[in-house]
Structures are given as structure tokens and as C-alpha cells.
């Protein structure tokens, strides 16, 4: 059986930026929905800051290019959301930004203030928001940006203009009444409208207020509608349902709704809709966390149902479905395994060893990398002597992490019965320029296979 792991894996930096960009978008979305002190908001803010600060510590700077609906890193799309009504990249792109930069030295307080400004702008209608002017006024020391045109120069005169003074006799204020002549009203309308929505024109043309949309405007509105129609109905249903469940505090109604959730989860599995099944469990977790303080009993009920759902899932059935090539959405499948939790981790290892579908294997590899990023002990604890291909995959993940904490875990492979696994471990250790790696490499020097011993000598002689 061909064990080729498929297409080349993107660089660790690119994978980290994808994760940061996705978390960035999730955080802004959460900030738009919940109050600042909500547990979900504080949690995702902390998660985003941890990921970004770790990246800046390692790479000095994060530079995100901007397209209409995407963040770009190293010339590749790191994140994309084509729904202009919700797209985070569009919040920046619409006002002329072409690049967003975060530099080492960024403090958490500075970043959280930046995040709040982005949230405030994202909540405004697109024609009212102006993120460039907001960033220009604040002048963050470690957050930079670039624009496609001299955007600020066009904005500065507007920012520095004097407040409008209406041509009204203020001396009449003390009498409690002001009578405006027709000339006064004409002056107010002319100057006020010229300074406001009709700025730059001497006279307001009433036809402008009722003119039909031109072809370009019609096309733009239609594109927004097309994007909105493309959002899966199931996703919209789940979001609406859980919004209602969040607001519900009657015990009987909550019990009925949670019973429906359990049945609906089973229906999604029968259809093989793992992506939305994962979304359902994710909403359950957010609901449980958010209800802890306000409604402890509700939180306990949600936790009970969520645990029952996870424990009732047949891993044997999931494995059979994956091996029979009946997984239409591999990424959604592994998101679902992630929601199932620890008991599903061995299944990911088994599938990596046995699966022949290249797309599923690639998604599995990305999932295993995420497990390793969170907890190396959990990942390496899945290694078994009877799973050589999985062992090689774990070695590749440890090497790609470029993390000193990963080095001791190579020692786990010293007594692996598969020569190929031991060779991969030796070559990986030889590629790491660290004294600890050389020390562990020496432990392979007594290997029973001469080819492995030769590889050890070459690695130590570098």
C-alpha cells in the first residue's frame, strides 16, 4: 500500500498564521455578539493574544496582506471569508488598507485596545466605518498598516476642519424662542448639507435621494445577496437555535430544547454532516461556559447532555465510515473528532496508519499537528510499535514544530521495532542544531541495524 502522505505540508509559520487569522476573526465575531466581560470573550481574547505574542516572540513581526475578503501571508491565503457582511478582512480592505503589521514589543493592553477599535468599526455600517482614520488617530506604537493610496492625506483636511457654525442669532436663546426667516432656513440647509452628507457640492439635488441604483451598485447588492444565500441553512439554523437557547431560562423549555439538540445531532451524523455536528457541539460548549455564572443549573444540564452525546458516539462506526471512503468533508470530520475529545484521539492515529484516501490523510495530519501543538505528551502517547506509518508522521510533526520542548520526545522511538521509524528519528535529530538533540542521538548509536548506526555517526560528525 502506498504510504505517500500526499502534498507538501505548508511551513510551520504559515500554519501558525492561519491559526492566528482564524482566531482573530472568531474573536471579533465574538466581541460583536457578547459583552466585554462575557466568559467566551475573555477566553478567546486570551487565546488570540497567546498565539500572536508567541508568534512575535519567534518571528519578530507578523505582516498580513489584505485582499477584499482574505488575509495573505507569504503570498498565500491564510484566511478567507467571502461574506462581506461578516468578513473581517473586508473591514480593513474597504477603507484602503493593503497591509496590517504587528511588531515585537506589542503589549497585551495595546493589542486589546486595538481589538476593541476593530470591533467598534466592524459594528458600524460599511459606509460609516473608517478604520484607517481610527488607526491614524490612535497611533499604536507596535501596530502598523499600509494603504493603497494617500488615504490619510485625503482625510486630514476633513479631520482638521472647524466645527460648523449655523447662521443663527444666538442672542435670541434667552427669550426661549427663535424665529427663522426663509433666508435663515435656506442658509442652514445650504451650509448644513454641504458640510454633511453632500459635502463638496453647493446645492443638493433632490433627484439624488430617489435615483435608482446604477449597474455597478446593483451588481454589488446582488453579490451580497448571493454570498448570504450561500451560507448553509443548517449553520444559520444552529446559530439561531442556540441564540434562543441562550436566552431561555425556563427549566421545562430548556429540557425540551436540549432533548431536540441530542436528536438533531444524531440526524446530522446519519447524514454524514460532520462539520455541522462539530458546530453543534461547539455551540453546546459555549453555551455551557456562558451560563456558569448566570444560570448554574442550566450550565449543568447543558454539560450533561453534551457529555451524553460525546459518550454515545461510536468510534468504530466513524472509523468504518472513514475507511470506506464515505467522508465528503475531511476537515469537518476531524473538527468533529476534536469536539468529541480525548477518547477520539486514538481513532485519529488509527486512521493515519490505515487510511488510503489522500485528502482524509492530509486533514488527519493537520489535526495531529494541532494535537501536538496543544500537548506533545498526548500526541506521542498515541505511538504504538504496530503503527510504523503513524510513528513516522509523529516524527515529521515533532521536527516541523521547531520547538526545543519536542526534542526529548524523539527518544521514544529508540526501541521501535521498525527500522524505518528509527532511521527517521535519527535523521530528524541530526537536522536539529541543539546539544540536547545530539545527546539523544547518541542513544541510537547502539542500534542493532548497521544502516541506523551509520546514520547516527553521520549525524554526530556534522
Same domain, 252 and 390: yes
Structural domain count of the chain: 4
Does 175 map to a domain? no
- The last residue of one of the domains, among 396, 414, 441, is 396
Q: Is 413 helix (H, G, I), strand (E, B) or coil?
A: helix
| Statement to judge: residues 302 and 380 lie in one domain | yes
> 382 and 410, same structural domain?
no
Classify residue 14 by burial, with Cβ atoms within 10 Å: 0-12, 13-18, 19+. middle
Q: Are residues 118 and 106 in the same domain?
A: yes
Q: Which residues contact 417 (CB under 8 A, 6 or more apart)?
A: 385
In a domain, 155, yes or no: yes
CA distances in angstroms from 232 to 11, 23, 249, 275, 363, listed in the order given: 31, 21, 28, 11, 22
Cell of 294: 448566570
* pLDDT for position 210: 54
Write down the pLDDT at residue 247. Answer: 86
CA 273, 279, 281, 283 dihedral sign is negative
Q: Per the domain annotation, does 212 fall within a domain?
A: no
d(CA 274, CA 318): 10
* Phi, psi angle pair for 402, to nearest 5°: 50, 45
Q: Would you state the pLDDT for residue 60?
A: 86
Q: Dihedral of CA 94/55/27/308: which sign?
A: positive
In this structure, the answer to whether residues 60 and 195 fall within a common structural domain is no
Within this chain, do residues 401 and 390 fall inside the same structural domain, yes or no? no
Do 23 and 111 lie in one domain? The reply is yes
In a domain, 264, yes or no: yes
Whether residue 380 is found in the same domain as residue 317:
yes
- Both 343 and 412 in one domain: the answer is no
Pair 323, 443 in one domain? no
Whether 218 is covered by a domain: the verdict is no
Structural domain includes residue 118: yes
Name the residue range of residue 442's domain: 397-462
Instruction: Report d(CA 246, CA 84) in Å as an integer.
Output: 26
Q: Are residues 318 and 414 in the same domain?
A: no
Mean pLDDT, contiguous 10-residue spans, the chain (462 residues): 49 86 87 77 88 88 91 91 82 87 91 90 74 83 78 46 46 56 66 51 52 68 60 83 87 89 92 91 86 79 91 91 86 92 92 89 90 90 92 92 89 93 93 91 92 92 78
Please report the pLDDT score of residue 175 as a whole number: 54
Task: Give 65's strand partners.
Answer: 72, 99
Asked whether residue 347 falls in the same domain as residue 237, the answer is yes
Residue 361 lies in a domain: yes
List C-alpha distances in Å: 3 to 104, 321, 419: 41, 20, 16
Boundary (domain end) residue, out of 104, 126, 160: 160
Residue 145 in any domain: the answer is yes
Structure-block grid coordinates of residue 204: 443638493
Q: Is 147 helix (H, G, I), strand (E, B) or coil?
A: strand
Q: Phi and psi dihedrals of 146, rounded to 5?
A: -130, 150
Amino acid at each position: 500500500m502506498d504510504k505517500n502522505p500526499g502534498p507538501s505540508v505548508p511551513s510551520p509559520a504559515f500554519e501558525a498564521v492561519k491559526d492566528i487569522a482564524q482566531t482573530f476573526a472568531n474573536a471579533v465575531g465574538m466581541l460583536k455578539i457578547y459583552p466585554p466581560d462575557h466568559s467566551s470573550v475573555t477566553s478567546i481574547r486570551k487565546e488570540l493574544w497567546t498565539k500572536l505574542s508567541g508568534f512575535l516572540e519567534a518571528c519578530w513581526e507578523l505582516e498580513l496582506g489584505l485582499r477584499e475578503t482574505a488575509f495573505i501571508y507569504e503570498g498565500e491565503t491564510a484566511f478567507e471569508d467571502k461574506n462581506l457582511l461578516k468578513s473581517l478582512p473586508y473591514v480593513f480592505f474597504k477603507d484602503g488598507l493593503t497591509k496590517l503589521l504587528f511588531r515585537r514589543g506589542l503589549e497585551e493592553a495595546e493589542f486589546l485596545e486595538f481589538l476593541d477599535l476593530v470591533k467598534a468599526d466592524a459594528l458600524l455600517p460599511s459606509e460609516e466605518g473608517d478604520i484607517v482614520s481610527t488607526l491614524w488617530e490612535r497611533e499604536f506604537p507596535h501596530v502598523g498598516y499600509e494603504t493603497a493610496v494617500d488615504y490619510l492625506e485625503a482625510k486630514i483636511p476633513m479631520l482638521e476642519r472647524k466645527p460648523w457654525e449655523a447662521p443663527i442669532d444666538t442672542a435670541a436663546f434667552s427669550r426661549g424662542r427663535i424665529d427663522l426667516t426663509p433666508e435663515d432656513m435656506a442658509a442652514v440647509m445650504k451650509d448644513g448639507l454641504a458640510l454633511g452628507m453632500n459635502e463638496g457640492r453647493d446645492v443638493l439635488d433632490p433627484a439624488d435621494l430617489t435615483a435608482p441604483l446604477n449597474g455597478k451598485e446593483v451588481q454589488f447588492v446582488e453579490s451580497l445577496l448571493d454570498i448570504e444565500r450561500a451560507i448553509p441553512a443548517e449553520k444559520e439554523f444552529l446559530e439561531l437555535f442556540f441564540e434562543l437557547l441562550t436566552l431561555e431560562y425556563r427549566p421545562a423549555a430548556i429540557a425540551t430544547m436540549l432533548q431536540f439538540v441530542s436528536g438533531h445531532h444524531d440526524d446530522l451524523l446519519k447524514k454524514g454532516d460532520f462539520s455541522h455536528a462539530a458546530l453543534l457541539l461547539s455551540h453546546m460548549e459555549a453555551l455551557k461556559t456562558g451560563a456558569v455564572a448566570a444560570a448554574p443549573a442550566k450550565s449543568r444540564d447543558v454539560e450533561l447532555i453534551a457529555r451524553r452525546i460525546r459518550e454515545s458516539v461510536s468510534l468504530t462506526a466513524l472509523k468504518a465510515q472513514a475507511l470506506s471512503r464515505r467522508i465528503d468533508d475531511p476537515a469537518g470530520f476531524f473538527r468533529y473528532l476534536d469536539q468529541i475529545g480525548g477518547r477520539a484521539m486514538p481513532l485519529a492515529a488509527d486512521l493515519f496508519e490505515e487510511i488510503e484516501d489522500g485528502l482524509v490523510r492530509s486533514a488527519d495530519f493537520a489535526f495531529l499537528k494541532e494535537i501536538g501543538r496543544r500537548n506533545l505528551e498526548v500526541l506521542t502517547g498515541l505511538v504504538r510499535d504496530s503503527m510504523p506509518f503513524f510513528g513516522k508522521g509523529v516524527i515529521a510533526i515533532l521536527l516541523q514544530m521547531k520547538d526545543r520542548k519536542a526534542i526529548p520526545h524523539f527518544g521514544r522511538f529508540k526501541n521501535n521495532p521498525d527500522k524505518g521509524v528509527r532511521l527517521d528519528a535519527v535523521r530528524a535529530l541530526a537536522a536539529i542544531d541543539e546539544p540536547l538533540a545530539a545527546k539523544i542521538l547518541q542513544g541510537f548509536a547502539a542500534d542493532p541495524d548497521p544502516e541506523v548506526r551509520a546514520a547516527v555517526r553521520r549525524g554526530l560528525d556534522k
